[in-house]
Amino acid sequence: MTCQEFWDSMPELAPDGAPELGEHLRGCPACVAVLARQRQVAAGLRGLAAESRRVQAPARLEGRLMAAFRGEGGMTEIPLRARWWSPVAAWVAAAALITAAALLSLRSREAQPLPATAPQMAAVDWTFGLAIEDAGGGTEEGEFIALPNAEQLPPPAQVNMVRVELPRSAMISLGYDVKAEEAGEMVEADIVLGSDGLARAVRFLN
């Protein structure tokens, strides 16, 4: 059995000590090592599963459903809260959108290349409270806010700023108060994009 055939048999999904796997492993320390790491991941997933067990649906939902069950006729009228937007997905989507645009060498009118060595970038603190001086000085633009994960990324050699539209609900994950009825509205935002294609910061307009 070659290493390829060994991994094609998906040994990490087989029960420990499956006899057909032992034969290859006895002669192949490389696969032994990878399989051991795979087992570490599997053990980590069991730990994650155990930790996740604490997560339950909010208690209010049981009350709503019981009322629906009793009411029967009114059952179909329970409104969904219409907040169908994932903040995480919003940031990912925005970052990927920008990456795609960069790959295609498409640049919108608003995109402004900002070399990191330029004077206005001196004020940038990539690790906390990211702020970029605004050359335009528009009053309707808010401050730049570092995105979750930005602090774990290396400082980019060069950044670009791209204007995009996002649902207002995307602001929730950054600590803004957003009314439920406004969550679906689109807001304009400038996104700071590193030369590696990853979004670092955002500011919301108006």
Partner 1 sequence: MAEHDRESDDELLLRLHSGDEQAFAALYRRRQAAIYRYALNMSGSAAVAEDVLQEVFMVLIREGCGYDPERGALSAYLFGIARKLLLRHFERIRGNVPIDDEDAGSVMLELAVDGNQLSDLARSEGIAALRRAVQALPRRYREVVVLCDLEELDYADAAHALGCPVGTVRSRLHRARALLLEKMQGEAGPRRAGALNPIRCSI
Q: Residues interacting with partner 1, by CB under 8 A?
A: 3-4, 6-8, 10, 12-13, 30-31, 34, 37-38, 40-49, 51-53, 55-58, 61-62, 64-66, 68-70, 75-76, 78, 80-81, 83-90, 92-97, 99-100, 149, 152-153, 166-167, 186, 196-198
Q: CB of 162 within 8 A of CB of 188?
A: no
Rounded least distance, CB 195 to partner 1, Å = 13
Rounded least distance, CB 177 to Zn ion, Å = 56
Q: Which of 12, 28, 86, 163 binds Zn ion (CB under 5 A)?
A: 28
CA distances from 131 to 43, 97, 114, 178 (A): 41, 23, 14, 22
Q: CB of 126 within 8 A of CB of 205?
A: no
Of residues 31 and 146, the one with the C-beta less far from Zn ion: 31
DSSP-assigned states of every residue in 131-158: ----SS--TTB---EEPTTGGGSPPPSE
Which one of the spans 22-30, 89-97, 101-109, 193-201 is the region binding Zn ion (CB under 5 A)? 22-30
Which candidate, 42, 41, 45, 22, places its Cα nearest to that of 32?
22
Rounded least distance, CB 4 to Zn ion, Å = 8
